[in-house]
Amino acid sequence: MRLDVYFGAHSVTSADVQGRVVVVIDVLRASTTIAVALAHGARTVIPFESADEAVTRSKSLARGDYKLAGERKNQMIPGFDLGNSPREYTREAVEGKTILFTTTNGTSALIAVQPAREVLVGAFVNFTAVSAMLRAAARAQSDLAIIAAGSDRHFSLEDAVCAGRFVRSIRRGITDVSMNDGAQASVQLERRYANDLPRLFAESAHGRALADMGFAEDLATCAQLDGYPVVPVYHDRQVTKLGPDRER
């Protein structure tokens, strides 16, 4: 089976994901936020490329049933209910709600991979849960693609390292895996940061930017390995969860 890692959603073509099981990673912060929202009982997360599209969709829903959510340049969008800080997605805020979600990088990555057979959303907070699904797919000889979404078209260290962790987990005990150079590189990068996610965020440009903007506590949330063990699945243009609710 093939196991390929791509850096940047913009570099992915239909042929790269067609028929594959795909995981989209945007650790800081869209993937983490989606996992936290679903773990706290959000009914569904619907990604939109633009804020306008999210607002348009909201008009077909009852006011109490949805939250307008997302960011531009890391900040909440004026008039929206929630930003892209996972700590805002408490059970009180999101339980039973439809989250209409738009972010700079993570949501466009989800939209780019629609030709895939199955699309999961991965981060450190739901690593083992998503990894179990990917390992099962690999054992069934499904080809896999991991999209390290990156930031503003460019490579992000934290997404690459998370991708490398998935690659390492998937390969364990599975022979006959063909990897592209992105997968090879992500495994090398992961070795350096495997047990020190705070250091990873301190050395990544986006991590430093978030800390500078006052989101240091978000970084601590994003580093909670397996803290929100849900499997977010993107299907019919929305993300719902396979895993259990987090204990209340």
Binding site for a copy of itself (CB under 8 A): 6-8, 10-11, 13, 151, 153-157, 160, 180-182, 184-185, 188-189, 192, 203-206
> Residue type at 239?
V
Give the residue with the Cβ less far from a copy of itself, 10 or 91: 10
**Cα torsion angle, 209, 93, 113, 164, sign:** positive
Tokens standing for 92? 């009180």
Beta carbon of residue 199, minimum distance to a copy of itself (angstroms, whole number): 12
Give the residue with the Cβ less far from a copy of itself, 7 or 89: 7
Angle between helix axes 205-212 and 157-171 (nearest 10 degrees) is 130
Give the residue with the Cβ less far from a copy of itself, 76 or 205: 205
Residue whose C-alpha is closest to residue 145's, from 10, 9, 237, 16: 16
Give the residue with the Cβ less far from a copy of itself, 137 or 163: 163
Give the residue with the Cβ less far from a copy of itself, 6 or 166: 6
Beta carbon of residue 95, minimum distance to a copy of itself (angstroms, whole number): 35
Beta carbon of residue 157, minimum distance to a copy of itself (angstroms, whole number): 4
Give the residue with the Cβ less far from a copy of itself, 6 or 101: 6
Which H or E element spans position 190?
helix 181-193
8 Å CB contact between 12 and 136? no
* CA 136 from centroid of its chain's CA atoms: 19
Beta carbon of residue 59, minimum distance to a copy of itself (angstroms, whole number): 35
Measured CA to CA in angstroms, residue 125 lies from 35, 106, 199, 220, 223 at distances of: 7, 16, 16, 11, 7
> How far is residue 201's CA from residue 149's CA, in Å, rounded to a whole number?
16
8 Å CB contact between 50 and 103? no
